[in-house]
Every structure is written in structure tokens, then in C-alpha cells.
Amino acid sequence: MKILFVCTGNTCRSPMAEAIAKTILKEKGITEDEIQVSSGGLWAMTGESASLQAITVMENHGIDLSVHRSKPLTREMVLSADLILTMTPAHRSGVLSLAPETAERVFTLGEFIQGETEANGGILDPYGQTVAVYEQCAAELEDKIKNALEIIINRQDLLS
């Protein structure tokens, strides 16, 4: 199974989500052969590093995000993913404009775990904010990603 996290610039939320998901999967003994995780940004520049605050917060969680380089989201990335999890409803719309045929596998992270339309606007962008705001974002991501991965792991039909 291939999971793709999507945000705006692929320097804050989606790389943190990717790193958190990979860490949780590794802790559960799930290999990349079973579940692959990646990220991209709808308006990302190629090769930008993660934001300094994102690197700092992930480092505080024992995760090295310093090697991350941003990737612009492409139609091919979307088509090759089994599950696309976006940070906001606007990101979901952006993904669907790239590949409308993937509608049944594109969700905001909140929609996926709650099974309903996300009313709160999704995971807010911490870009340019303080480390404390990034820490709040990382905590929200970790909580939602744990729930999402439990759903995926418990639904064996999603892994086939």
C-alpha cells in the first residue's frame, strides 16, 4: 500500500506527517514493502528543505527531518498512491483537480479517521509561526496519523 500526504509547500505539515507515519509504522514492525509513505506539496518548489521549526520539532521527537527535500505534487504521484491524505479540504480539492478519478481514495486526514466531512478546516498551516505552534501541529498530526494507521492496519483489504 502507498500512502501520500499532501499540503501546500511540502516543507511543514506533509513532511512532518510522512516522518511521523514512517516512525509509527517502524515501531509497529511494518516494513516499507507493506506500507510506503511519501509526501508532496500542491505549490511546492523542488528541493527545498523542511522549515527550521519543523526540523526542530521533529528532532525533539527523535525524528531527523533535516534530509527532507520538497517535492511538487504530480499527477503521477497521485495516481500511484492507494490513499491520499491531505491537510485541508482545499488540498483535497487541489488533488482532485490533478486527478479527478482518484476521488474515492482522497481524504483530508480528519475525514479519513472520522468518516465524515471535516468542518474545522483541517490541520492549520504553521508556516512562519513559532516552534510552539509547530509543536501543536505535530501533536495533532501524530494523534490523527496514529488513528489513521490503526484503521489501515485493521482493514486488511486496504493493504492488498
Give catalytic residues, as residue numbers.
Answer: 7, 13, 125
Return the half-sphere exposure (C-beta side, CA atoms, 13 A cut-off) of residue 79: 7
Query: DSSP alpha helices (H): ranges in 99-130?
Result: 109-114
Other beta carbons within 10 Å of 1: 15
Grid coordinates of 12:
511543514
Phi-psi region of 10 (alpha: psi -120 to 50; beta: other; left: phi over 0): left
